[in-house]
Copies of this chain bind each other. A is one copy, B any other.
Amino acid sequence: MIETPYLLFLGDAPDQLAAKVAQGIRDWRPENAVGQFRLDGCKADLGLPDMTLEQAKATGVKTMVIGVANRGGTISAAWREVLVAALEAGFDLASGLHNLLRDWPDLVRAAEANGRTLHDVRIPSVQYPIANGEKRRGKRVLAIGTDCSAGKMYTALALDKSMREAGQKSTFRATGQTGILITGDGVPLDAVVADFMAGSIEYLTPDNDPDHWDIIEGQGSLYHVSYSGVTLALIHGGQPDALILCHEPTRTHMRGLPGYRLPTLEQVRDTGLALAKVANPDCKVVGVSINTQHMSEDEAKAYCAKVEAEMGLPTVDPFRHGAARLAAALEEI
């Protein structure tokens, strides 16, 4: 569990896209994002107050989060100087970079000297159990996609927001690095050892109130041969009561696999539901989320209407249209 609120470190980000982790925190947990810290030449701006470490401390910040991708597979000396100063100022550090904070002796020394914690969220910090398959109280919904990077995390976060706004009880359950940094907790599923994947998701989504929904962040796709095993572990460990299908209509092949065509939404519905029923015979497919970022407003509306008619399920782009109709569909379960 990463302590909040955060100061978002943007470093020397070459553009806004490089700071997308920080942007995600700002968009989805604005209450956690009290300020930004930028180095000379930073081209990203979250519209948050630029703060010195002293100002952040005075505002109650607990953790400095690295909200930017690094370059060249290293953590530069310029970055480390700031990170050491942040540890000395009494902040924990959190990072989802492939280069681990814990591999830098200067950071380890400063953390130890100041009693601070280095959170490398790419690496599990828990010894997860093997899944026992037992039924848990409370409800769970999982987004499954025709492909990787089809909008599953965005869909889950938007759904969580809509449900909270509607007064429903819900918790976004992160299974990837960005989601973990946004919420401060979760399972870095892609780094979990094979035997413990499903168990890690059981651990992530424990017993809860009967009317509480865990919104589980999806990963991969049953049809993406590189990561399909991770997706199935999510389905069987998560025991979802509801599935939402995610799709990005302009893809010409599976992400990173030029020889693989996308499955249809019908295929994902049928395969996903049959497998989900192994763990939860009452599971239902409740809606479709379309990522229409590469379509015009009219195209997006028409495409969603067409899918809605074909599938007989509420179909929205949660970014354009909000997730209220998906939240409403869950209310009916």
Q: Which residues of A contact B (CB under 8 A)?
A: 130-135, 189-195, 197-199, 222-223, 225-233, 236-237, 254, 256-257, 259-260, 263, 271, 274-275, 278-279
Contact = CB atoms under 8 A, between A and B. Distances in A.
A260 B194 contact: no
Given A198-B226, A232-B232, A257 B191 contact: no
B191 A229 contact: no
A226 B130 contact: yes
Contacts of A263: 278
Which residue, A133, A225, A229, has most C-beta atoms of chain B within 10 A?
Answer: A229
Contacts of A225: 131, 133, 198, 236-237, 278-279
Contacts of A132: 226, 256-257
Contact of A271 (B231, B274, B279): B274
A195 B123 CA distance: 12
Contacts of A260: 133, 278
Contacts of A222: 232, 275, 278
28 contacts: A132-B226, A132-B256, A133-B257, A133-B260, A134-B259, A135-B259, A189-B194, A190-B193, A190-B194, A190-B195, A191-B193, A191-B194, A193-B194, A194-B194, A194-B230, A195-B226, A195-B230, A222-B275, A222-B278, A225-B236, A225-B279, A228-B278, A229-B230, A229-B231, A229-B232, A231-B232, A260-B278, A263-B278
Contacts of A279: 225
Copies per complex of this chain:
2
A35 to B, nearest CB: 33
A195 B226 CA distance: 7
A260 B87 CA distance: 50
Contacts of A191: 193-195
Contact of A223 (B197, B226, B278): B278
Contacts of A195: 190-191, 226-227, 230
Contacts of A134: 259
Nearest to A190: B195
Contacts of A223: 278
B198 A228 contact: yes
Contacts of A259: 133-135
